[in-house]
Amino acid sequence: MDALAGHQDWQGQGPPRPEWSDEDLIREYQMTGSPQAFEELVRRYERELFNYLCQYLRDPEMAEDAFQATFLQVHRKCHQFDAGRRFRPWLYAVATNQAIDAQRRSRRHRLVSLDQRTFGQLTENETGALVDIVEGAELDPEERLELSERKEDVQQALEHLPPALREVILLVYYQGLKYREAAEILNIPVGTVKSRLHSAIRKLEHHLKLPQSPSHA
């Protein structure tokens, strides 16, 4: 079924409606070249995608350049977007490729050090949520509170992860992508995403000296 079924009345003649999905907007841009559809996609992703690129590149100027390059590629390659796909993983794949290109140009081949994030140190909410993914800890409330205050330890643990493991943490944990979306972005099987995330959790547990559950042993 066409992603724009029921929306053919717009055809670039007015602003996109709030209920339009990302897929509706990119298909409209494919069909009509409407600047309003393109601008709405940029608006929806400007903060989220810029934050991701800042985390990946550790440099806000490089992130801004990569962000602009990402949407330039969306403009140039919108005809390559398959209507049967979801837009978000496709956009993240484009952005990740732009970030990798930026790293190559600047001779930086490392992923982000989260303690140097553009928007400051990890918040207590983020640290507490990271504790939640380390499910093997099985901590009581007092222990969780103590761990949530160890932001520097958590940041150092993340910094010690190998790039491939830190990458899945960025996509699955910080950006909230599903396993299949991360797999599509990284061009790896879903099983590899799961195994890398599992390995990342194991390494975080080890670095933070947390008890491991049988499932992680």
Cα distance between residue 121 and residue 39, in whole Å: 31
Per-residue pLDDT of the chain (217 residues; tens, 9 = 90+): 333 344 444 444 456 677 789 999 999 999 988 899 999 999 999 999 999 998 888 889 999 999 999 999 999 999 999 888 899 999 999 999 999 888 887 754 444 444 344 333 444 444 445 545 454 444 456 655 555 556 667 667 777 888 888 888 888 887 888 899 999 999 899 999 999 988 888 888 787 765 554 444 4
Q: How many CB atoms lie within 10 A of CB 149?
A: 13
Question: pLDDT value at position 78?
Answer: 92
Same domain, 24 and 95: yes
The pLDDT assigned to 7 comes to 42
Domain-embedded: residue 133: no
Confirm whether 9 is domain-assigned. no
pLDDT at 123: 47
Cα–Cα dist 13/4, whole Å: 15
pLDDT at 115: 39
Domain total for the chain? 2
Residue 123 lies in a domain: no
With respect to residue 117, please indicate whether it lies within any of the assigned structural domains: no
Boundary-marking domain end, from 95, 111, 127: 111
28 lies in the same domain as 106: yes
* DSSP summary character for residue 17: P
Structural domain contains residue 183? yes
pLDDT of residue 56: 84
Q: Do residue 101 and residue 169 come from a single domain?
A: no
Whether pTM exceeds 0.85: no
Q: Which residues contact 152 (CB under 8 A, 6 or more apart)?
A: 115
Task: Give the residue numbers spanning the domain of 91.
Answer: 19-111
Q: With respect to residue 203, please indicate whether it lies within any of the assigned structural domains.
A: yes
Q: What percent of the chain has pLDDT over 70?
A: 66
Q: What is the pLDDT of residue 159?
A: 73
Spatial distance between the Cα atoms of 109 and 129, rounded to a whole number of angstroms: 28
pLDDT of residue 158: 76
Is 179 in the same domain as 95?
no
The CATH number of the domain holding residue 187 is 1.10.10.10
Residues 104 and 183 grouped into a single domain: no
